[in-house]
Amino acid sequence: MVEIIRTLFFFPVLQVTLLLPAFLYAGMILWFRKGWKELPVFEDPQGMLPKEKVSVIVACHNEEHNLPELIRTLRQQSYPASLTEILLVDDYSTDRTREIIKQAAKVNPNIKAIQNCGRGKKEALLTAIEVCTSPWIFTTDADARPDHDWIVLLMAYQKKTGAGFVAGPVKTFPQKGLFARFGELEFYSLMGTGMGSAGTGHPLYCNGANTAYKKELLFSASDPFRQEIQSGDDVFLLHTIKRHHPEAIHFLKSKKATVTIMDKPGPRTFLKQRIRWASKSPAYSDRDTLLTAAIVFLLNLAIVFSAVAGFFQPAWWFWMFTFYIIKSIPDFLILQSITSFYNRRKLLWLFPIAQILYPFYITATALAGIGSYPFRGKVWDN
């Protein structure tokens, strides 16, 4: 039996076959890097005269510590307050979130306090969308901090390009601790994939902390947020618009239009979040996203497989290092570009360690996520 296993693990055809996802991955990441570099930088609204009314929607659940600062940031936007409607939706919070929202609405005429008619973030967004009075919807998170010219820049970019859906850059607050910095580096990798894929004309991902879209586009499909799935309102909406109106999608590359968020600290919360992300994969119907996810998973699985197989046949460790090298070169190049844009190149010292750990972490979270679907706050076994 041991001889059979050793023969299988040394089988040359299998080794060469596993090179396919490695080279596909390298080509794909270099393509995303090219797309990122080709996205034009837009920093100057060039004397834009605001005319259109916008609605900023924020879904809030137990955000009493974050809301005061968010409200202050939104009130200080350079876009005219008379053209800005802020809708704060309480999603059945158990802390002082509801009271903070009501108090803010009392003293600020352009802030509206809304109670979620359903449950969860997607229902909260739809509740606000039904009562908003603007043709343009902006979304951000309760723990986010938009830059001063956020709305002005997104609207100026829309006027220049005629976009119907604009996604902007998101970054995380720098945090102390090795694990937090690993998470920050991975976050920028995700941003690179989202912005870079958009630059190629095949957008895969956006972050709901920095999006703006025409209200009319929301109703191009009967269920744009895929309400039966617990999370992923931003990505499912992007895919819906991509399917019906791909020409409407634009990504804004601008430091001044960046939204900064609080990343989720701690290994437990981090892993739960990544497993939740992975669990949405079976619900995706976008071919670009499915193909990308398959290539990423297969390469990382090949590295893990080679590492284990090496204990039976040491020749597999040569292939493991080969896969690592093929993966690491394009990964470093795109991260170098992204972290330079965000002025966080000092995170790159973590890159070698992250590269070693990443295949094992991504394979484990992907397999854990595939075992469950997050339907409306419940986890159903697959």
pLDDT per position as a tens digit, 27-77: 999 999 999 999 999 887 777 778 899 999 999 999 999 999 999 999 999
**What CATH number is attached to the domain comprising 149?**
3.90.550.10
Question: Per the structure block, which two tokens stand in for 101?
Answer: 């929202």
- Residue 374: inside a domain, yes or no? no
Which whole number is the average pLDDT over 90-108?
94
Token code pair at residue 275: 């497993």
Same domain, 297 and 332: yes
Residue 276 within any structural domain of the chain: no
pLDDT in tens, 286-299: 899 999 999 999 99
The reply to whether 18 and 84 lie within a common domain is: no
pLDDT for 376 beyond 60: no
Q: How many CB atoms lie within 10 A of CB 285?
A: 11
Percent of the chain surpassing pLDDT 70: 86
Residue 120 maps to a domain: yes
State which of 232, 265, 298 marks the end of a domain. 265
Mean pLDDT for the stretch of residues 80-92: 95
Is 380 part of any domain?
no
The verdict on 335 and 224 lying in the same domain is no
Lowest mean pLDDT among 183-197, 220-234, 339-353: 220-234
Task: Supply the range of the domain harboring residue 10.
Answer: 2-37+286-369
* Alpha-carbon distance values, 280 to 72, 137, 230, 375 (Å): 34, 25, 9, 9
Same domain, 83 and 178: yes
> At residue 375, does pLDDT exceed 50?
no
For a pLDDT cut of 90, what percent of the chain falls above it?
66
What gap in Å lies between CA 128 and CA 148, rounded to an integer?
Answer: 23
Q: Is residue 248 part of a domain?
A: yes
Q: What is the pLDDT of residue 371?
A: 58
Does the pLDDT value for residue 381 go beyond 50?
no
Shared domain for 191 and 101, answered yes or no, is: yes
Decide which of 265, 294, 320 is a domain's last residue.
Answer: 265
Same domain for 49 and 172, yes or no, is: yes
Say yes or no: 192 and 338 in one domain: no
Position 45 scores a pLDDT of 73
pTM higher than 0.85: yes
Is 257 a residue whose pLDDT tops 50? yes
- Say if residue 81 is in the same domain as residue 135: yes
Measuring CA to CA, which residue among 88, 71, 82 is closest to residue 127? 88
The pLDDT score that the predictor gives to residue 377 is 42
Determine, yes or no, domain membership for 206: yes
169 backbone φψ class: left, alpha, beta (φ>0; ψ -120 to 50): beta
**The tokens of 176 are what?**
């102390």
Whether the per-residue pLDDT at 321 is higher than 50: the answer is: yes
Is the same domain home to 56 and 160?
yes
Question: What pLDDT is recorded for position 265?
Answer: 61
Model confidence band, residue 370 (pLDDT cutoffs 50, 70, 90) = low
Report which of residues 242 and 270 the model is more confident about.
242
> Which of 247-251, 299-303, 357-361, 373-377 is predicted with the least confidence, judged by mean pLDDT?
373-377
Domains in the chain, number: 2
* Residue 275 covered by a domain: no
Residue 6 has pLDDT above 90, yes or no: no
Average pLDDT over all residues of the chain = 87
User: At residue 2, does pLDDT exceed 90?
Assistant: no
List, in sequence order, every beta strand (DSSP E) within the chain: 54-60, 84-90, 111-115, 136-139, 145-146, 165-167, 170-172, 211-214, 249-251, 259-261, 372-375, 378-381
CA distances from 71 to 57, 67, 130 (A): 12, 6, 22
- Give the model's pLDDT for residue 380: 29
Query: 232 and 126 in one domain?
Result: yes
* 110-122 mean pLDDT: 91
Residues 93 and 158 in one domain: yes
H or E element, residue 310:
none
> Is residue 327 a part of any domain in this protein?
yes
Shared domain for 54 and 14, answered yes or no, is no
**Partners of residue 89 on adjacent β-strands:** 59, 114
Residue 270 has pLDDT above 80, yes or no: no
